[in-house]
Structure 1
Amino acid sequence: MLSTLARTATRRPLTVILLWLLFLLLGFGLGTGVFGRLSDDVPDVPGTESELAEEYLARVDPAGETVTAVVAGEAVSDAALRAQVERAVAEVREIAGVAAVPDPYRTPGLIAEDGQALVVPVTFEGGLDEDAETDATDAAADRIRQIEAPDVHVSGGELLGRQLGERAQEDVKNAELISLPVVLALLLVVFGGLRAAALPLVIAVSGIAGAFLALFAFSEVTDISVYAIQVTTMLGLGLAVDYALLMLVRFREERRHTDEVVEAVHRTVAAAGRTVLFSGVTVAVSLTGLLVFPSVFLRSMGLAVAAVVVVDMLAALTLLPALLTKFGGKIKPARVRPDGEEGRLFARLARFAARRRIAVIATVVPALLVLALPVTGLTIGIGDAKQLPASTEARQLYDTVDEHFPPGTGVSPITVVVRPGTDPATAERISGLSGAESRELPGGATVVEIQPPGSVDGKAATDLVERIRDLRGDEPVEVTGVAARLIDFREMLAERAPWAALTVLAGIFALLFAFTGSVLIPLRTIATTLLSLGAALGVVVWVFQDGHLAGLLGAEGLGALSLTAPPLIVAIAFGLAMDYELFILARMREARERGEADQEAVVTGLRRSGRVVTCAALLLAVVFGAFMTGGFSPILQIGLGLTLAVLIDATVVRMLLVPATMALLGRHAWWAPRPLRRVHDRFGLTEAASAAEPPVPMKV
């Protein structure tokens, strides 16, 4: 397959380039339509109690969305301001699609005790189509914003999703403006020429287009989280640069052995292209763990990110060879060091780790375990507007209400659906809970709404949900609301996580065995990767959950991580770690096939891949760091987790722990039982040997 791709790219380079240009136009034309379809609601899990109760209420008691406005900054009793507010309320009530707007001056609880703020909730009719709801929401928001006061903010409902979508689009644009020039500058340092440095950016732009198209396609059938756009774009950009970097470094090496550009391209695709192919498949397999979860958000994220990975892989295997065929003749071959040994620093690190293998393992492993300790206290939450950047209107509304109103104001209630046939004593106990308000539904059911103490998903709220579920026993009573959905999401994660892990680990083991022919190398790889992943996630918990140094990132300790962060960090970081492992294993395998001894091959593998792995990790860190400038707490968490995972894995783990553990295993590292060896000989795929350079003796 790789030889076919290489031949196609070199025989018809212009055709391949034009096809990719068409893909780019689709991605940046049609694909960017996803920004208008983003949702801030991700914790829904089909089949859970909270979701079934929501669906029941939507059928028997359809209610429209609600947006909330806050007016603050001066005494709301001022006659001129009161006249403005009352006039605005009256006019909003007349807007088509608006169901109710209470008068804040006559409704208890809507004016702050300090008299410096008031709240105006606007409820829309249920059953409105998308266009009608959008028109009604915009008309109501625009009219309220005409009130002349120091602080007027409107958000919530359908309006919140659009506000976040616009902010996400702005953040992606800013991240690209920051990251692409920095990446180009670093590539100029790596390659020493603009032509070679620009090619990875062309592949990176293809990755971004792929991210937009993949998300747009999935938005046709499911909700797409506002956070998905940043995650898929940063990964698409980062992996594209990674793969292009690997291919270009190999192309420059092959140019040392041939003056024919087409032949160098074929050799590059046959050698490094196989690594890219395996890497892309491995990253995609790492993301299949997300498909095990019934959460629509996690499944759509897994599929979308996997689609982006495939686009990056195909761009590296088709578009880049076509570009090299047209322009590669002017890219200089890699320079040969006078002493004949490239990557001297990485060779020294590998030799040091091999000689001091016990000391290295005894130092690195405990250090990573210490960093991973906070993971034992990890908890997740849906969160509130504190997760949003201070410049978003939703956050400004939240801060204003928090400043002027008592804690818990505006917190969504816990909703209890008491179905017909429920024991009267049970229904009475639930209705008698503090702060409970009941109303009858068509069909004989009763809805009980209870205002939770504290935050919408805090311990007090979740404890109250658990108490209600204990009270109802086996009666036909269902609990929904934000806190109930969080509990159901946590239970779903706990139930499915072992199966997700088993699926991913089995797939990774099979792929690494096919690549290496060993059963011990996959086990060693998985163990060392879990160490770096645990360390990165532990730091994220320490910063964002516990609040240590969070201010340096423009965030604050929230007491819990976003429910989106841990599964995405684990799935994506695991795949990226496999990416670098394959870069190194490919070179080790190649050295062994040239006849080098096992420990010599380990040093040669690090010597020839260390620079690529280090540069790739640095470039990825730049990309992730650029996306962390947006200020969304879930993106900050994911960005920091992936940055740390990549840097720890590419430095401490791959440069020290890998050679130390390989030296400890010795010749047994490449061992496999005879039956599996026969299977690998028949079906396994290995890195093709390059135009050989002489093996470098290992100095131990």
Structure 2
Amino acid sequence: MTDAPDHPDRSTSALSRLGGLVGRHPRTVVLIWLVAVVASFAGATGALGNQSLFERLQSGDPSVAGENLQGRDQLVAAGRSATSTHLLQVTDANATSPATVAAVRDAATAITGIDGVASVAAPQLVPAGIDSPEARSLLPTDGDGFAAVVTFDTDLEGDARDRAQEQVDAEFDDLVAAIPGARGTTGGLADLIEAITSQVEKDLRAGEGIALPISFLVMVLVFGGFVAAGMPIIGAIASIAGALASLLGFSHVIDLDATVVNVVTVLGLGLCIDYGLLTVSRFREELRARVQGRPASEITQEEVLAAIVRTVDSAGRTVVFSGLTVAISLGGLLVFEASILKAIGSAGLSVVVVAMLVALTLVPALCVVGARRLLKRGTEQAPEEGVFSRLATWVFRRPLLVIIAVLAVLGTLAAPAFDLRLTSSGKELLPVSAPQREFFTTLEARYPQLAGPDVQVVATATPEQAQAYAAALPVVDGTRLTGRVETVNDALSLVAIDTPGGPLDDGARDAVTALRADRPDFPTKVIGQASGLRDFTDSLRERAPYAFALVALATLVLLFLMTGSVVIPVKALLMNVVSLGASLGVVVWVFQDGHLQGLLGFDSVGAIESTIPMLVLAFGFGLSMDYEVFLLSRIVELHERGVGNDEAVIAGLQRSGRIITSAAVLVVIVFSGFVAGQLLIIKETGVGLAVAVLLDATLVRMLLVPATMALLGDWNWWAPARLKRWHARFGITE
């Protein structure tokens, strides 16, 4: 390899000045971050007397402003809301016994007097008698027992709703206790939402409890010491605090789904570990270059300051480039109409900023404070040859064979993605043993009418028109649909339609298609889980090309500014497409096809949650470009200093390979920690992103990138003459 000249003078760059500021006042920087972290955790958990982040979360079907949402809004405006009901299921009780009838009537009298209760329904309260058709929906399809339904005022919310429900539950307890041998369970949609949001908090703690300690142990092995290993972990904790604080702020501006917290926090945790690892490693490299083998005790403060200035300038630019690429991928989510994707994109962007600030200020400050201890085990410079340079040399001898083999593996892994089937689970997000999932499973089996129909049609019509419409519903799969009509008011009716299977099975999906295609003379809105999923997927298909175009164009421009090449950015995009396709294929194989259910602790629903493909693609793309920037920054740095293509790639891989591999292992650990959670969508996200990082850091960065760069040679750096001149003026180089 040719000798590289010294670094150009960048002492006046903005990042160098920032590094100098941090280097001169490290303890002040650490103190400021400590105060910010404590305040962020206190605010997010409600310790400051405010409403906590987790109390402000919501849960429900991913929705867009389509027909399903419009129909639901019509019902809410007419005084109907699915979350306004609270149910009691009683078993081991004779519904017609005098003791039961008396207990139900006493409870109904007490419940009716509770502020906020609109009505109480039970089979013993039906005027026509418990054997009448009107009471049938409140009696089980088999066995003994009965159900009671309390409806709250639709405008009852917050603490008032909680107090009213607590009083109702107390009366339900007394009711069950008054019936000898009876057992009762309570639930409702509001309780299901509460169960999901509380599970988010539990999964977040469990994931962090697994990820942080294991990550620390791995970094001790990577760095060979507790001090160096602790710095990225401290940065990661600061990132979690910043993520929670930013999410709390966003919760006052936009509705945050419960899953947003886990997804965004995981991203911040992964990025901070990546950037912290890069910064600490680069600082040790820069400090060793200045100390040149002298004992750590002889390191001067001037050398520490010079090393941190250079570190923030060089590693800092890599962090900024990486952060921008991740921000670009998350920015693509803002193009979509779905509020959950916009929320993840918006909150994710703020978390990227936090991770960048941590890497540019807090971690460098910690490096300065612990500089001598970082090199306590030795100040010798790392050799230019090692495992990764030997791997690159091996790849350079057979690039075409490596390319074919890697693409074959990735293509095989991607194959299941072509059978992708989307769904939008409700209770299925929770484990089978969760009380609210058991409640709704039992309700669907024993009280199908209370559980709700698979598909509903909101008809702006008179009761007579609605009856005529229900009698002439379209034919689906050779069978005419049948519906029950419920009058909401004189101008609005609800047609309930049951289909074979559940509300998200093929029967319900086909019914939605048929009902939307065959409209009556009056306005109708088809609603239900299948209808909401149809609106969501239609919106995804409509907006996806614009999102992909935005991300691709911005990434091409950013990588061109970094490399001065048009070949490298295009190649990076194509490789990421193949890699992410493989990641999505693994998710389909595991969760849709039901492999590894026992190992990962889930029950397959035969499909993938509707938000997962966009999350895996957006987050996976950002993290993949993260490692691409790590590798390219070293290669470009050498190439700009006159080193040839082959030598620059081999040396760049040697210098960055350990960082990329270590960072990838740590991020995989982080995502795997969240696979241990209970929510299905969090498991799917964790597996998808862990696989994306694993494939990218091994097959793509270590094999495919050097193989393609070996095959293309100097063509890697080609750009039209006009763009070359433009890059010479505006490009961001060493």
Matched, 1:102 2:121: yes
* Structure 2 unpaired stretches of 5+: 1-13, 46-51, 125-129, 291-298, 474-480
Partner of 1:23: 36
Summarize deviations over 1:258-282 as a string: whole Å, max 9, x none. 2411111111111111101110111
Partner of 1:7: 20
Q: Secondary structure at the match of 2:536?
A: helix
Q: Secondary structure at the match of 1:39?
A: coil
Contact 1:64 1:124 in 2 (8 A): no
* Structure 1 unpaired stretches of 5+: 689-700
**CA drift at 1:477:** 2.2
Percentage identity across paired residues of the two chains: 40
Matched, 1:490 2:534: no
Summarize deviations over 1:487-508 as a string: whole Å, max 9, x none. 1111001111111111111111
Summarize deviations over 1:371-410 as a string: whole Å, max 9, x none. 11111111211113122123432222134345x5377871
| Closer/same/farther in 2, CA of residues 368 and 82 from structure 1, 3 Å limit | farther
Partner of 1:696: none
> How do 1:179-328 residues align onto structure 2 when only pairs under 5 Å count?
179-258=211-290, 259=299, 260-328=303-371
| Closer/same/farther in 2, CA of residues 76 and 320 from structure 1, 3 Å limit | farther
Structure 1 Cα separation of the partners of residues 665 and 562 of structure 2: 26
Structure 2 Cα separation of the partners of residues 323 and 484 of structure 1: 53
Partner of 2:610: 563
| Closer/same/farther in 2, CA of residues 368 and 104 from structure 1, 3 Å limit | farther
Q: Secondary structure at the match of 2:456?
A: strand
Identify the range of structure 1 (529-538 vs 153-162) with the bigger mean alpha-carbon deviation.
Answer: 153-162
Q: Given the alignment, which residue of 73, 76, 79 partners 1:55?
A: 73
Partner of 1:41: 60
Structure 1 Cα separation of the partners of residues 222 and 182 of structure 2: 52
| Closer/same/farther in 2, CA of residues 426 and 193 from structure 1, 3 Å limit | same
Summarize deviations over 1:623-676 as a string: whole Å, max 9, x none. 111111112111111100000000010001111111111111110001111111
Partner of 1:512: 559
Contact 1:70 1:397 in 2 (8 A): no
Q: Secondary structure at the match of 1:224?
A: coil
Contact 1:75 1:115 in 2 (8 A): no
Contact 2:138 2:447 in 1 (8 A): no
**CA drift at 1:81:** 7.1
Contact 2:461 2:522 in 1 (8 A): no
Structure 2 Cα separation of the partners of residues 17 and 216 of structure 1: 23
Identify the range of structure 1 (633-642 vs 329-338) with the bigger mean alpha-carbon deviation.
Answer: 329-338
Structure 2 Cα separation of the partners of residues 281 and 333 of structure 1: 35
| Closer/same/farther in 2, CA of residues 153 and 511 from structure 1, 3 Å limit | farther
Which structure has the greater CA radius of gyration? 2
**CA drift at 1:475:** 5.0
| Closer/same/farther in 2, CA of residues 222 and 392 from structure 1, 3 Å limit | farther
Q: Given the alignment, which residue of 146, 155, 165 partners 1:137?
A: 165
Summarize deviations over 1:23-42 as a string: whole Å, max 9, x none. 21232011231100111114
Partner of 1:376: 418
Partner of 1:549: 596
Q: Secondary structure at the match of 2:451?
A: coil
Aligned-partner residue type, residue 391 of structure 2? L
Summarize deviations over 1:188-220 as a string: whole Å, max 9, x none. 111111111111111101111122112111211
Structure 1 Cα separation of the partners of residues 75 and 451 of structure 2: 21
Matched, 1:177 2:209: yes
Contact 2:470 2:482 in 1 (8 A): no
Contact 1:241 1:616 in 2 (8 A): yes
Identify the range of structure 1 (529-538 vs 132-141) with the bigger mean alpha-carbon deviation.
Answer: 132-141
**CA drift at 1:100:** 2.5
Partner of 1:682: 729
Q: Given the alignment, which residue of 438, 456, 465 partners 1:415?
A: 456
> How do 1:597-636 residues align onto structure 2 when only pairs under 5 Å count?
597-636=644-683
| Closer/same/farther in 2, CA of residues 66 and 104 from structure 1, 3 Å limit | farther
Partner of 2:548: 501
Structure 1 Cα separation of the partners of residues 466 and 172 of structure 2: 44
**CA drift at 1:154:** 2.7
**CA drift at 1:575:** 0.2
Structure 1 Cα separation of the partners of residues 44 and 60 of structure 2: 21
| Closer/same/farther in 2, CA of residues 24 and 591 from structure 1, 3 Å limit | same
Q: Secondary structure at the match of 2:457?
A: strand
| Closer/same/farther in 2, CA of residues 419 and 245 from structure 1, 3 Å limit | same
Summarize deviations over 1:398-448 as a string: whole Å, max 9, x none. 34345x5377871455332333599x9898334544442334455734333
Summarize deviations over 1:300-324 as a string: whole Å, max 9, x none. 1111111111101111001112222
**CA drift at 1:150:** 8.3
Aligned length: 683
Q: Secondary structure at the match of 1:65?
A: helix
Structure 1 Cα separation of the partners of residues 382 and 333 of structure 2: 48
Summarize deviations over 1:36-91 as a string: whole Å, max 9, x none. 01111142212x12222222333344547244545466455596777666654553
| Closer/same/farther in 2, CA of residues 380 and 138 from structure 1, 3 Å limit | farther
Aligned-partner residue type, residue 449 of structure 1? A
> How do 1:421-460 residues align onto structure 2 when only pairs under 5 Å count?
428-430=468-470, 432-433=472-473, 434-442=481-489, 444-460=491-507
Aligned-partner residue type, residue 313 of structure 1? M
Contact 1:153 1:396 in 2 (8 A): no
Structure 1 Cα separation of the partners of residues 152 and 43 of structure 2: 31
The two structures have a TM-score, normalised by structure 1, of 0.92
**CA drift at 1:530:** 1.2
Partner of 2:155: 127
Identify the range of structure 1 (156-165 vs 62-71) with the bigger mean alpha-carbon deviation.
Answer: 62-71
Identify the range of structure 1 (404-413 vs 233-242) with the bigger mean alpha-carbon deviation.
Answer: 404-413
Structure 1 Cα separation of the partners of residues 613 and 100 of structure 2: 47
Contact 2:91 2:146 in 1 (8 A): no
Identify the range of structure 1 (177-186 vs 424-433) with the bigger mean alpha-carbon deviation.
Answer: 424-433
Summarize deviations over 1:557-601 as a string: whole Å, max 9, x none. 212111121111110000000000111101111222333210111
Summarize deviations over 1:335-371 as a string: whole Å, max 9, x none. 68899345x2211221122111111111110221111
Q: Secondary structure at the match of 2:370?
A: helix
Contact 2:457 2:524 in 1 (8 A): yes
The two structures have a TM-score, normalised by structure 2, of 0.88
Q: Secondary structure at the match of 2:431?
A: coil
Structure 1 Cα separation of the partners of residues 53 and 170 of structure 2: 24
Structure 2 Cα separation of the partners of residues 192 and 367 of structure 1: 34
Aligned-partner residue type, residue 568 of structure 1? L
Identify the range of structure 1 (459-468 vs 242-251) with the bigger mean alpha-carbon deviation.
Answer: 459-468
Contact 1:426 1:471 in 2 (8 A): no
Q: Secondary structure at the match of 2:137?
A: coil
Identify the range of structure 1 (8-17 vs 260-269) with the bigger mean alpha-carbon deviation.
Answer: 8-17
Partner of 2:10: none
| Closer/same/farther in 2, CA of residues 190 and 492 from structure 1, 3 Å limit | same
Aligned-partner residue type, residue 326 of structure 1? V
Contact 2:417 2:581 in 1 (8 A): yes
| Closer/same/farther in 2, CA of residues 439 and 407 from structure 1, 3 Å limit | closer
